[in-house]
Structure 1
């Protein structure tokens, strides 16, 4: 157990189920979760509504899904190789850690299935059966990943607050999570995180400083407008 004073204001965003009190500022984690939830609903909503014959639209959706899946993979990889092992070393509840890691493994086949069907629809080799399967898969992915995020926010982040210090968290971010992104990827990821985020929460972006906030605003505007073209009219 840490003896550090609680962080004064944990971030609580729409759709988030918990924000356990403790010494670590978990805003970065919750901002990523918000992006995942947003995307899960977008993909599950669009999949049943675009005709299988609309290859151009499917190609755009495939590219957008690829970004989502890349960010999710890096996020889960950082937890699997960095966060869960450190928590285990500090004496966290192993049953909680095992369950969270197992949930990651359950999500991977759904991601792979969705990627394959999106590729088939984009290149014209998939038909209505492919689109119907994709609609089922994206709904399953939404439900499974949203349940996992809720579990992580309630139980996983409680373990973080009980067993890690702010210094531990900053080191994990620097040496594991942030290190997984190249400088070339950062503008797109900044736009992905900030798209649709209320302006009053921008200062909680990791590493927030004036240049980063300006980049996030510009990229979020571009990202939001591109999403409107990709997903608009599918509701």
Structure 2
């Protein structure tokens, strides 16, 4: 059956990276469109990954749980679906503010974007917490390992290949040894060999450009 503990690693990325975004945005000087574009690309990657992650669950997880699970789990699945809908609206607002700020690097657009991200973070964290507490055990009970791997494959398959090492490096950064082992077990050996080497280097390079350090704070709340 499925082993959904890899979700803790994915969720850690969202908690850590989104928590840093408002500060990153507000640090960009008015009119500095070059720096704004760099930070905007970073934020856009985060919103893209989170959106595709949720789309994979919407298509490949919730229907199977509803089909196979006992009737009493239906309210929890419906809660997940409703939280996704609310988060997608919040992410759409972030993306809209992001496009506006990218073009101008204006003070008003900068604050509007930072505030939109700040509004999005609490419901995102609530959703991640609820999923970890109540849903991962259901995934492990009702989905097979192959079905769970298909969810990850569908998500990764929608990402630009050039971004895969960076995204994987984000996941490895700060992961506990047991979490690294779980990630290793979910990938074919050649993919693990490649991404476990390219990922940390890609993340360190990206992090120096965005955060000013290869070792940004491990924010988890």
What pairs with 1:100-115 in structure 2 (closer than 5 Å)? 100-115=80-95
> Which sits farther off after the overlay, 130-139 or 155-164?
155-164
Q: Corresponding residue for 1:90?
A: 68
Cα deviation code 1:140-192 (max 9, x no counterpart): 11211111100111111132233334354345445x44544565553343233
| Secondary structure of the structure 2 residue equivalent to 1:47 | helix
Q: Does 1:35 align with 2:2?
A: no
* C-alpha displacement of 1:109: 2.2
What is the CA deviation profile of residues 89-123 of structure 1, one whole-angstrom value per residue up to 9, with x for unaligned ones?
01241111111111111112222222222222222
Q: Is the 8 A contact 1:191 1:216 kept in 2?
A: yes
Alpha-carbon spacing, 1:82–1:62, altered in 2? closer, same or farther (3 Å): same
1:79-228 paired onto structure 2 within 5 Å: 79-92=57-70, 93-124=73-104, 127-173=106-152, 176-181=154-159, 185-198=163-176, 201-205=179-183, 206-207=186-187, 209=189, 212-228=192-208
How far the C-alpha of 1:138 sits from its partner, in A, is: 1.0
Q: 1:114 to 1:200 in 2, by over 3 A?
A: same
Change (3 A) 1:166 1:137: same
Unaligned runs of 5+ in 2: none
Cα distance change on mapping 1:25 and 1:45 into 2, 3 Å: same
Match of 1:59 in 2: 37
Mean CA deviation greater in 51-60 or 81-90: 51-60
RMSD: 2.7
Relative contact order: is structure 1 or structure 2 higher (C-alpha 8 Å, sep ≥ 6)? Answer: 2
Contact 1:195 1:220 (C-alpha < 8 Å) held by counterparts = yes
Q: Classify 1:56/1:197 alpha carbon distance in 2 versus 1 (closer, same or farther; 3 Å).
A: farther
C-alpha distance in 2 between matches for 1:218 and 1:167 = 26
Q: CA deviation at 1:43?
A: 0.9
SS in structure 1 of the partner of residue 26 of structure 2? coil
Q: How many residues align?
A: 211
Please identify which structure carries the higher helix content: 2
1:49 to 16, 27, 43: 27
CA distances 1:20-58 after superposition (whole Å, capped 9, x unpaired): xxx532232222111111211121332333233221111
